[in-house]
Homo-oligomer: A and B are copies of this chain.
Amino acid sequence: MIDHLSAVKIESSTRSYHHGGLRQAVIDEGLRLLDANQKEPDALSLRQIARNVGVSAPAVYHHFPDKQALLKSLADYGMQMLAEQQAEAAKIGGETGFAEMGRTYVRFAIANPGLFRLIFSHMPMRISPSTSALKGSPEWMLRDYIKRTLGPTATAREQFAAVVRVWSLIHGLSMLILDEQVDHQSAEELLDEILEVGGLRLKVRTQT
């Protein structure tokens, strides 16, 4: 309780006690660490984030019920970011735009490894032949393109199978690259050939 000590304390705390935008600051720092780490998203430490933001760990709990909720928020942000890039690519339209969506997906994964992993480990979507996507979402754009390509005679099962096939291809390639199963550089160089853009196959077969 010495004067100058408490004075210093008050001075430093007046600047930081009510942080203002803590929630956003935590999310920003989380994204930054996720980007810097390159590692498993679970390795991301809530306390580390709080420390870097200049706040005690329990303060975070006033903005997120628990760590999972924080990660979910980061995943939401990542999903939105991916969706925007996908929408941008889709604007090109037609087969070219469709191919560009595939490239964009894989490149997003390479550019944001931690975030990409987080998205798919924290956002179960459970698409099935009977579920329908939100209009304008990446999934909707994919389904829409495939519906048009397959023609009106295709059943829901056929459409579902085609969607999952295309998605599996680009998602699998992304994961294999991130997990270093496949040489990063070679795969990126041969991206179009792997996805069969310019060949026949990123699009589904037009008819049997």
Q: Which residues of chain A from 121 to 180 have any CB-CB distance to chain B below 8 Å in the complex?
A: 121, 123-129, 131, 157-158, 160-161, 164-165, 167-176, 179-180
Assembly of this chain: how many copies?
A: 2
One of B43, B127, B160, B186 near A190 (C-beta < 8 A):
B160
Residues of the B chain whose Cβ atoms lie less than 8 Å from the Cβ of A131:
183
The reply to whether B205 and A201 form a contact with Cβ atoms under 8 Å apart is yes
Given the known inter-chain contacts A164-B187, A186-B160, please indicate yes or no for A175 contacting B175, CB distance below 8 A.
Answer: yes
Asked if A181 is at the interface of the complex by the 8 Å CB criterion, the answer is yes
A173 and B175 in contact, given A181-B127, A194-B164 (Cβ under 8 angstroms): no
Q: Which residues in window 45-93 of A have CB below 8 A to B?
A: none
* Residue of A167, A172, A179 ringed by the most chain B CB atoms within 10 A: A172
A22 to B16 Cα, complex, angstroms: 52
List of B residues within 8 angstroms of A194 by Cβ? 161, 164-165, 168
In Å, the complex CA distance between A191 and B185 comes to 31
- The reply to whether B126 and A181 form a contact with Cβ atoms under 8 Å apart is yes
Chain A: how many interface residues by the 8 Å CB criterion? 47
Asked whether A169 and B167 contact (CB < 8 A) given A160-B190, A179-B124, the answer is: no
List 15 interface pairs A-B (beta carbons < 8 Å), by A numbering: A42-B43, A120-B179, A125-B182, A127-B181, A158-B193, A161-B190, A164-B187, A167-B172, A167-B176, A170-B172, A171-B172, A171-B175, A171-B181, A199-B205, A201-B201
* A interface list, Cβ under 8 A from B: 40, 42-43, 120-121, 123-129, 131, 157-158, 160-161, 164-165, 167-176, 179-183, 185-187, 190, 193-196, 199-201, 205, 208
